[in-house]
Structure 1
Amino acid sequence: MTQTTTHRFSRRHDLDAIRIGAFMLLILYHIGMFYVPWDFHVNSARPQEWLQPVMWFTNPWRLTLLFLVSGAATRLLLEKYRAEGPGAAERLGGSRLLRLFLPLLFGMLVIVPPQTYYQVVQHVRDNGLATDIYHNAMTADFWVRYVSSKGNWCDADGCIITPTWNHLWFVAYAMIYSLIAALVAGWAGPRLARATQVFERLFSGIGLFIWPMAYLALIRLWLFPQFPITHDLFGDLYNHALSLAAFGFGFLMADAPRVTQALKRYRHVFLALALVSYGVWVGYMTGFKDTAPPEALKQAMRVVYAIDQWAFICAILGYGAQHIRQTSPLMRWLGGGVFTFYIVHQTLIVVLAFHLEKLNLPLFVEMGLVLSLTLTGCAVAYEIARRAGVLGILMGVAVAKKTAA
């Protein structure tokens, strides 16, 4: 029995690789946010319209995929604790709280403040405002105003409320969903296996297409217009309906080999469906860039968005399960460091892009420098964190357990 359980819940190299790839896509995406003509913490003076279809490519599914993989990783950790003895659900909740809350708190107080600083600096510069924030370097006074919510950084569009989690909202949501999973696992006990069996029956055939796409379309049609994504935890109803469902799907999928087989079997169909729906979405967004679409078309495109979202996720999961069956030293290193990469990357992007722009370099040289220096900074941060002992947990590095001699 122990051998079967160990085999069923052995490490999934495909999910590890997908997790790493999704986080790396986030780094590219946030670099793109500086250059695309959309609102970001700081923006390039040379906005690039051609980047928009590139950004739309991952926009529907990137973070949803990450939540799904996070749910699967949480289930694998739960089963690891179960194999070690009683109290697995409690240990899961405690480990997730320690692993995610401390980096979140450290990030909000130390990593994120420069993003707010340069956001204010650029706003002041672009609008010709007079303020000491622009003329002075970051000082303890700025940080005090940041952590005490006394910055008064406001304009006609509203105020910057601090302290804030900015891109670390994902960590906050993943922590809450993990605690929910621990509570459910503790309450369900053996019934969790039966729930997984029902899940497997629902999603191991054509249901893998029908039910998730129907659900995603429903919340896109009904919830999204009323509750647009805000990342403010409360009131972010559409985002929770999307992300928590993805997390739960991944949590159950980790013990559903028939679902994994279905993902592998239908991977080509999902990829074709994903590419077609993406093409339709790009055509729609491009065609109605400057005019409002008819309401009926807008509703239809919300369904297309949901299809794009799920089809890409399933294609990635299917191809990953089919082709990724082993790891490598690089993947193991990235697996240990990618959470650190995520914690520090957006601050590095904001600071680097803001200052490199002043050099007036050719656009693609500037982009390449932002990317290469961001990745270098992430790698350096990880190497420092992994050598910092227990303090490394503040930067997302798991603390290694000491084994008895």
Structure 2
Amino acid sequence: MTMATAPSPAPVPDGPPTRLDFLDWVRVGAFGLLIFYHIGMFYVSWDWHAKSGHASPWAEPLMMLSSPWRLTLLFLVSGIATRFMLAKMSPGRLLRSRLARLGIPLLFGMAVIVPPQSYVEVVEKIAYPGSYWEFWGQYLRFYQGFCRDGDCLILPTWNHLWFVAYLLVYTLILGAILITNRDWSRLNPLFRWTEGPLLLILPWLALAGLRLGLAPIFPITHALVDDWYNHALSFSAFLFGFVLARRIGVWENAQHLRWPALILGLAAYAGLQLYYTTYADRDPPETLRAAMRCVYAAQQWGFILAILGFARRHLNHRPPILPYLSRGVFPFYILHQTVIVCAGHGLKQLGLPAGWEFIALMAVTLAACLGGYEIIRRVPLLRPLFGLPYTQLP
């Protein structure tokens, strides 16, 4: 998942951009935001694997500022990264590379990294009395008896690693298409609109259509086989990024549209918060509910386009720290949620005030992820388990 920063010197039909360092910054920032979002999940009233004793709804509006778009942005950037990888290798080699760099961490994560999250969950929700090692043995035997009010925990699970599983599946589908046809030049006329004002409008309308048509029927499950709205949203973003990656005019246009996009996103966010507050304890009219799905899509695309535009304007440079951060985001991502769940569960037992508990959880999460990354990148046997190449890059 490492973002390529320089295109292949060979000419390509859709014209390679000269600099895309800003997309590395976007990727680092998006994964960093995800870590803080999951720390927030420990404190809001929404259901999660573990909850603080101080959990309350007060931070939920802040969480909803990023929840519509953060993962869609990650799939978009992943599609862009895949396009640059394809400039360096054949579709077959791309598939082999992705199977190793995504598949190995996924399997390792499900067997080793994720189980502590599930253990904490059964301890907190059903007061499981056994040790972790007893639980892990049941986990590896696919035990399905951890239930509460008819809702059973499906084991084994991938929890936050669903993103890795979905990205692997999308890459395999794309690779199969590429093996049969690698010439994307015929698509150029279909995407000329991305270099004008329609870049602000058409993706918004597409996202609104998906939310109106599929979201009410297929709620997001992260279970792969029944997650059709999420697939339509995430795979579309992945393909959109892949197709647009090497079009110079798209990124110039995103920079030009950054302020209108930000205004659109902020206005949509304000409208949604007013809607949620007004109808917190009663059902809205169905017509209004449908309209607000379109507003939700406006927040999604407005913030995504604004982030891309502002990043190109202000972050299109490559300081020495960027390669270190860019290579570190995947190990950080694999580790972070287990650290948050386990550390949060432990801190809760100390009875700290909310502010001190939050600060301690942030400090422990960042320190554990950074320390883990420093160990992982120095140990060749660990590197492939966390999505890094066996040989350390300089």
Normalising by structure 2, we get a TM-score of 0.94
Check if 1:177 corresponds to 2:148: no
Question: Which residue among 332, 344, 348 is the counterpart of 1:341?
Answer: 332
- Deviation string for 1:282-331 (max 9, x for gaps)? 11112211221111111110000001100100000111112212122322
Query: Which residue of structure 2 lines up, in the alignment, with residue 279 of structure 1?
Result: 270
Aligned counterparts, 1:10-159, within 5 A: 12-81=20-89, 88-125=90-127, 133-134=128-129, 136-139=130-133, 141-159=134-152
Q: Contact 2:144–2:152 (CA<8 Å) still a contact in 1?
A: no
- Deviation string for 1:165-224 (max 9, x for gaps)? 00000000011111122222222222x1222x1343132213212321111111101100
Question: Which residue among 347, 371, 375 is the counterpart of 1:384?
Answer: 375
Deviation of 1:10 after TM superposition, in Å, equals: 6.0
Deviation of 1:351 after TM superposition, in Å, equals: 0.3
Q: 1:332, 1:313 → 2: CA distance?
A: 23
Query: Which residue of structure 2 lines up, in the alignment, with residue 193 of structure 1?
Result: 185
Q: Which amino acid aligns with 1:379?
A: L
Q: 1:349, 1:3 → 2: CA distance?
A: 43
Q: Which amino acid aligns with 2:112?
A: V
Question: Which residue among 316, 326, 332 is the counterpart of 2:317?
Answer: 326
In the alignment, structure 1 segments of 5+ residues that lack a partner are 82-87, 126-132
Question: Which residue among 240, 257, 262 is the counterpart of 1:266?
Answer: 257
Check if 1:242 corresponds to 2:233: yes
- State the SS of the aligned residue for 1:100: helix
- Deviation string for 1:240-296 (max 9, x for gaps)? 000000001110111111111211111111011111111111111122112211111
- Deviation string for 1:89-129 (max 9, x for gaps)? 1011111111000000000000000000000000124xxxx
* C-alpha spacing 1:110/1:401, structure 2 compared with 1 (3 Å): closer
- State the SS of the aligned residue for 2:155: coil
Query: Which residue of structure 2 lines up, in the alignment, with residue 231 of structure 1?
Result: 222
Check if 1:355 corresponds to 2:346: yes
- State the SS of the aligned residue for 2:326: helix
Q: 1:99, 1:2 → 2: CA distance?
A: 21
Q: 1:2, 1:117 → 2: CA distance?
A: 47
Question: Which residue among 209, 212, 218 is the counterpart of 1:218?
Answer: 209
- State the SS of the aligned residue for 1:280: helix
- State the SS of the aligned residue for 1:326: coil
Deviation of 1:390 after TM superposition, in Å, equals: 4.0
Give the length in aligned residue pairs: 386
Q: Which amino acid aligns with 1:138?
A: Y
Question: Which residue among 284, 301, 325 is the counterpart of 1:293?
Answer: 284
- Deviation string for 1:38-73 (max 9, x for gaps)? 000111222222101100000000000000000000
Q: 1:73, 1:96 → 2: CA distance?
A: 12
Q: 1:157, 1:20 → 2: CA distance?
A: 40
In the alignment, structure 2 segments of 5+ residues that lack a partner are 1-6
Q: 1:395, 1:60 → 2: CA distance?
A: 27
Which runs of 4 or more aligned residues in structure 1 lie more than 6 Å from their structure 2 counterparts after TM superposition? Answer: none
Q: Which amino acid aligns with 1:334?
A: L
Q: Contact 1:200–1:258 (CA<8 Å) still a contact in 2?
A: no
Check if 1:251 corresponds to 2:259: no
Deviation of 1:2 after TM superposition, in Å, equals: 6.8
Deviation of 1:157 after TM superposition, in Å, equals: 3.8
Query: Which residue of structure 2 lines up, in the alignment, with residue 84 of structure 1?
Result: none
Query: Which residue of structure 1 lines up, in the alignment, with residue 4 of structure 2?
Result: none
- State the SS of the aligned residue for 1:398: coil
Normalising by structure 1, we get a TM-score of 0.91
RMSD over aligned Cα atoms: 1.9
Q: 1:283, 1:401 → 2: CA distance?
A: 50
Q: 2:190, 2:22 → 1: CA distance?
A: 21
Structure with bigger helix share is 1
Query: Which residue of structure 1 lines up, in the alignment, with residue 355 of structure 2?
Result: 364
- State the SS of the aligned residue for 2:224: coil
Q: Contact 2:114–2:158 (CA<8 Å) still a contact in 1?
A: yes
Which piece of structure 1 moves more, 387-396 or 360-369?
A: 387-396
* C-alpha spacing 1:368/1:5, structure 2 compared with 1 (3 Å): farther
Q: 1:240, 1:168 → 2: CA distance?
A: 15
Check if 1:162 corresponds to 2:164: no
Q: Contact 2:378–2:392 (CA<8 Å) still a contact in 1?
A: no
